[in-house]
Structure formats: C-alpha cells, structure tokens
Amino acid sequence: MRIALALLLALFAAATAHAATPRPLVYVLVLDGTDGDRYDQGTLPNVRALGGTYFKESRASIVAETNPNHVSMATGAYIDKSGVAGNAFAIYQPLKANSCEGTGAADEAKPPTETSGEGASCLLAETVFQAVKRQGNPDGLVTAGVFGKPKLGSIFAGRELDGKNPDADHLWAPCSSSLQGDEDYCKNVQTNPGTGYAVDDKTVMDEIVRITRQGVKADGRTKRPDLV
C-alpha cells in the first residue's frame, strides 16, 4: 500500500461571520491503489479509525490511474481539461522526453509522440498551489506538497507564478531519475532503490507530521501549513 499523496486542507469560515471560530484542519489521505473492499471488510482498522464520515459513492477520473486522478484532485479539472490524460499518453508533436514541451511543430499527419506526462509542462489547469498565489493569498495560507512518488513531485514542481520557486511553499518528494533530479525539494528524501519511491510509507507520514508540528517557511515566516 503506497501513500502517494497526502492532502491537508484548511477550511475557513467567513471572517465577518465567524471571527472567533477556530479554523478547522481537514486531513485527506490518499492510499493509491487500495481497494475499497479492504476498508469495507475491516482489514484496514487503522485507516477506519481515522474516519469521521464515510462517503462510499465517490468517483475516480477515468482513466483510473495515479497521475490523472491526483492532477484532478489538485486542479478540480477532469482529464479533458487538466492536460494529463493518463500515466502515459501521446501528443501529435515531437516532445522533450517525459514532458509535454514541444521540440517541433504539431502535425496530426505524423504518428504521435508518447510521453509519461510526468512534468509540470503537461498541466493545462491551474493547481490549488497556483490559485492561492495568483489571488494574492488574502488569507495568508501556507501550502505544501508531500508525495511518495517522484513522478508526482515532478508534476507539481511548477514555477508558474515567479519562474523561480515551486508554486507550493514547501515541496517534498523523491528525486526522479529522468526529471528535475537536481531539485532542492528532493535532495534529502530517502528512496527505495528498487522502486524509486520514498523508502517507505512511514517516511512520507513522518514528513507530514514534521511540517504540521514545526511549520514550513513561506514569505519570511514559519507557519503550520494550511494545505498539504
């Protein structure tokens, strides 16, 4: 069972109506590839113990694969708008390896070029990290991305807002062997040499616990993330 992505969402009440109400933190854990029947059968007792409300009729984006579904969760867009149609797809254009960056003109008369789509250049929809900054961040939110898989780190390592820093205030993921392997966000992440993923699930969760306790640096301050 691989925790590919952990999301930590802060839901804010309107300041004028609920100025004195504490802002709750909502934790959403994504257990990539886990069969929901395992939950129903009681074989995931620790996960079940975390549950507050169980909504069984959730839906996945089709194709039901890691990349398009995580992109949909981070952008709110289905695959026809998100730019990531699967864990691999093809574009009628010569491309830079494992990306959607064209190296020549698009031509539908020629065979398409397959890509893993594991790069920020493939995203066509705005991520929540980008949206927070584009809107000027009036609520002072701090964002972080924690991923157990290197490809998800590569996808969400975009620098759309200032061209220099990742759109998320804090990004943590294993280095990819083919993409952005020299990035600061992945240099200190231990990996499993067999899979290239984070060394184990505990390591991923330890990072989430660490940043929620110690905070992350953003805009010259250290603050507990509102969204991970």
Q: How far apart are CA 30 and CA 183, in angstroms?
A: 24
H/E run at residue 67: helix 66-75
Q: Evaluate if residue 63 carries a pLDDT over 60.
A: yes
pLDDT of residue 4: 40
Is residue 55 predicted with pLDDT exceeding 90? no
- Mean pLDDT along residues 105-131: 92
**Which one has a higher pLDDT value, 109 or 119?**
109
Global pTM reads 0.79
**What integer pLDDT is reported at residue 58 of this predicted model?**
66
81 pLDDT tier (thresholds 50, 70, 90): very high
Q: Domain extents for the chain?
A: 1-58+127-228, 63-125
User: Is 60 in contact with 69 (CB distance < 8 Å)?
Assistant: yes
